[in-house]
Amino acid sequence: MKKRQKGAFKEPMKKLIKYCKFQWGWLALAILFGAIAAVFQIIGPIKIQDLTNMIVSGLAVGIDMEAFTQIALFLLLIYLLGAILGYFQQFIMATSTQAVVKRFRKDISAKINRLPLGYFDGHMYGDILSRVTNDVDTIGQSLNESIGTLFSSATLFLGVLIAMFVIEPIMAATVIGATIVGFSFSLIFLTRAQKYFTQNQRNLGQLNAHVEENYAGHNVVQLFNGQNKMHKEFEKINKKLYTSGWKAQFIGGVMQPVMGFVGNFGYVAVCVVGGVLAAQRGIGFIGTITTFMIFVRLFSNPLSQIAQSLSRLQSTAAASTRVFEFLDAKELADESDKTLVLNDVKGDVEFDNVVFGYNKDKVIIKGFSANIKAGEKVAIVGPTGAGKTTLVNLLMRFYETNSGSIKIDGVKTTDLTRDNVHRLFGMVLQDTWLFEGTIKENLRYNNPNVTDEQIVEACKKVGVDHFIQTLSKGYDTVLTDSVNLSSGQKQLLTIARTMLENRPMMILDEATSSVDTRTEVLLQEAMDKVMEGRTSFIIAHRLSTIKNANLILVLKDGDIVESGTHEQLLEKGGFYADLYNSQFEKV
Ligand SMILES: Nc1ncnc2c1ncn2[C@@H]1O[C@H](COP(=O)(O)OP(=O)(O)O)[C@@H](O)[C@H]1O
Ligand SMILES: [Mg+2]
């Protein structure tokens, strides 16, 4: 267990360090500044030792003011320099780590566009989003808070250690002893507190989950009379949260005085041991006591800071793991070497023995072949899960075939860039896609050359112009949740947009599935206009809408089981005829 954790720290940190290469110079400078500032912090007390001794001995014979001022000024100078270095260290750390964060965000956003759609089948959007925001933020913050502190604390710690032993070994041993005692003390408290804090956190999570589950499904809970059970459960979690809550709060609050005691304990130890030694060694030892008073603090502070920095680096490593996992995910094949471009296509489409499965274990399309002439309207029908949408995904190259090929005007789609393939098709899907913006902006999407007149013309053609005119701002109405468009109206807008895109071929996948039969007739008319003269693939549940297709492909479990025109298929009396008749009976 421990070993695995170590690996999970080293690997991502290695990657992160490499990733930060472009900031190495700056980071090194920041670290150097921090180390120099730490050295100044050690020189300070040593000089104070001289200063104190001057005062003490000066009490009898008078102080050498010139030498005294010199040392005092020197002290002021190094403390000031230390502060300035600290200032620049912080500045460099902040800008450097944010530069790394910026680069992460840029790379992630570029990466999203290079990932195959299949990646998103296996990863939730929320999770990806959290990598872009939370994890990257965590890296930036924890890195900023840890690196500088880690190095300057280590310098300070070692420096003080050496300085103490050089100045006075017995006093050095006293400081170390007192610190160890103090730390063991606080460690006991810390682990206790940690336990309650984690417990508290877990209980809080449970409560959140409980509340979310029951309020999100509020009416369901009421419908099934689940309030009682829900309430009892809530009480139970709430009680647990109370117990862990007060314990965590109490121990957290007690920490401060306990830690205070640890610090003071060190002072007392230095005073007592220093006093005994001073009795033997005389008045000159008072300066040493002063110095060690300061050393006590300088020695114990970096220890807790190093511990803190290391635990921050743990979160850096955890966040890096997640971010690099994403950045290292397998990408779509590079297509920059593809020079072939298809623009004005006739619209012949040929599927040649296409085999495909979303994953290796399950083949969905098992050798699909079809030959579609330019301008034909092809309907793909079949039960849910037959693979209709999958065919569209392959045609659009959202996914790559396992074997076989798809040709447009005789050119394999794999010889074209994905982008080129996408530009050949207009798509209308069951889910309408409109963004927050005016109707005009929505219709002009991706196509800035479209004029206002063309927009109105397209809307008239699909029959949505009249409705838009009734809106108070007409075509400038901003589409938000408060503008209530029916799903039919939304779909008409989508169809108008597709019409304006003016792509040579069309794909309509269940475009009318979420509307009532009367709206369906409207949509059908609109779609017929978009399909005019274009090779079109239409997938529809209600077979009455595809009767006039030039070719109907009946798909079942990824195979074409029948094909022909509506009349031919009805005459054949096979699968299609059954399907059609069953729907006809129901309506
Ligand atoms: N992204 C996906 N990952 C894995 N399997 C999928 C994915 N999309 C669809 N499938 C599976 O492929 C089969 C065909 O689905 P689909 O083409 O959407 O059917 P249809 O559009 O005909 O209803 C179904 O068994 C479905 O579960
Ligand atoms: Mg489908």
pLDDT tens, 551-583? 999 998 888 899 999 999 999 989 999 988 888
Q: Tell me which residues have their CB closer than 6 angstroms to ligand 1.
A: 121, 358, 364, 382, 384-390
Spacing, Cα 390 to ligand 2 middle (Å): 7
Angle at the Cα of 58 from the Cα atoms of 55 and 61, rounded to 5 degrees: 175
In a domain, 155, yes or no: yes
Paired with 426 in beta bridges are: 506
* Statement to judge: residues 533 and 574 lie in one domain: yes
| pLDDT in the model for residue 1 | 36
Which has the closest alpha carbon to 502: 407, 423, 435, 420?
423
Residues contacting residue 142 through CB under 8 Å, at least 6 positions apart: 312, 313, 315, 316, 319
Closest CA to 135 of 325, 5, 309, 318: 318
| Distance, CA of 157 to CA of 231 (rounded, Å) | 55
pTM over 0.75: no
End-to-end CA distance of the chain: 63
Residue 433 sits in the same domain as residue 568: yes
Instruction: Report the alpha-carbon distance of residue 175 to residue 82 in Å, rounded.
Output: 24
Confidence at residue 14, expressed as pLDDT on a 0 to 100 scale: 94
Side by side, the strands of the sheet bearing 365-372 are 365-372, 349-356, 403-408, 411-412
pLDDT value of residue 585: 67
Range of the domain at 315: 7-327
Claim to verify: residue 108 and residue 243 sit in the same structural domain: yes
Condensed to tens digits (0 to 9), the pLDDT of residues 516-556 reads 888 888 888 888 888 988 999 999 888 888 888 999 999 98
Nearest CA among 582, 110, 558 for reference residue 370? 558
Q: Using CA positions, which residue lies closest to atom 17 of ligand 1? A: 387
Looking at residue 208, its pLDDT comes to: 82
- 341 lies in a domain? no
Which tens digits make up the pLDDT trace of 44-89?
A: 999 999 999 898 888 878 888 898 999 999 999 999 999 999 999 9
Return the ligand 1 atom nearest residue 384 CA: 23
pLDDT at 101: 94
Ligand 1 mean position, distance from CA 558 (Å): 10
pLDDT the model gives residue 148 = 86
Residue ranges in the chain whose pLDDT is less than 50: 1-5, 587
Where b means 16+ CB within 10 Å and e means fewer, 177-190 reads: ebbeebbeebeebb
Ligand nearest to the CA of 382: 1
Q: What is residue 362's three-state secondary structure? A: strand
Residue 248, token pair as written in the block: 């965590």
* Residue 372 contacts residue 349 (beta carbons within 8 Å): yes
Nearest-CA residue for ligand 1 atom 7 is 358
Within a domain: 340: no
CATH code for position 582: 3.40.50.300
Are both 391 and 276 inside the same structural domain?
Answer: no
- pLDDT value, residue 3: 41
Residues 563 and 525 grouped into a single domain: yes
- Which protein residue's CA is at the shortest distance from atom 10 of ligand 1? 358
- pLDDT reported for residue 43: 95
Find all residues with CB under 8 Å of 29, minimum gap 6, and list them: 92
Alpha-carbon gap, residue 126 to 128, rounded angstroms: 5
